[in-house]
Amino acid sequence: MKLKKRKFLFFTILFLIIFLFYFSTFSYGSYPKLISKLTSAFDKIKSYIIAISTPVAAVSIGSGFLMQKFSFGDEERIRLGKKLIRASIISYSFILLLDFIIAAIQAILA
């Protein structure tokens, strides 16, 4: 029974991949206006994400520093402040690197 489900899942995924690649040439070649609209929409979404994440990262880094400053020797608060600062810097750097990752993928595929 389990083997039957695995085979069904495998063939379903295989069929979907073949279906997507078979019709991808048709959709990209026939509707370049639609593709350009999607690309511009994703660029707008990306700019909104960066615009929203910048103040959020600044607030979280500031609150981490304030948490460390006003911990009054409490080791747990100092550790929590450092963890908050580290996590916000890593998250914000990943969001900024997302633009370069997308550009690299587009350069490879183009």
39 and 80 within one domain: yes
Closest listed residue to residue 95, CA positions, set 63, 65, 52: 52
Give me the number of domains the chain comprises.
2
Residues 48 and 69 in one domain: yes
- Claim to verify: residue 20 and residue 41 sit in the same structural domain: no
The 10s digit of each residue's pLDDT in 57-102 is 899 999 999 998 998 888 999 999 999 999 999 988 888 888 788 7
Q: What range does the domain containing 98 cover?
A: 32-109
The beta strand positions in the chain, using DSSP E, are none
Q: Are residues 58 and 104 in the same domain?
A: yes
**86 and 66 both lie in a single domain:** yes
82 alpha-carbon distance from chain centroid: 24
Residues 62 and 104 in one domain: yes
Same domain membership, residue 100 and residue 52: yes
Give the list of residues 6+ apart from residue 92 with CB closer than 8 angstroms, or none: 53, 54, 57
38 and 12 co-located in one domain: no
Same domain, 56 and 103: yes
CA angle 71, 76, 78 (to 5 degrees): 50
The predicted-structure confidence for 4-59, as pLDDT tens digits, reads as follows 788 888 888 887 777 766 665 555 555 566 667 777 777 888 888 888 888 988 99
**Residue 44, CA distances (Å) to 29, 39, 103 in order:** 24, 9, 15
Domain identity same for 24 and 65: no
> What predicted TM-score, i.e. pTM, was given to this entire model?
0.56
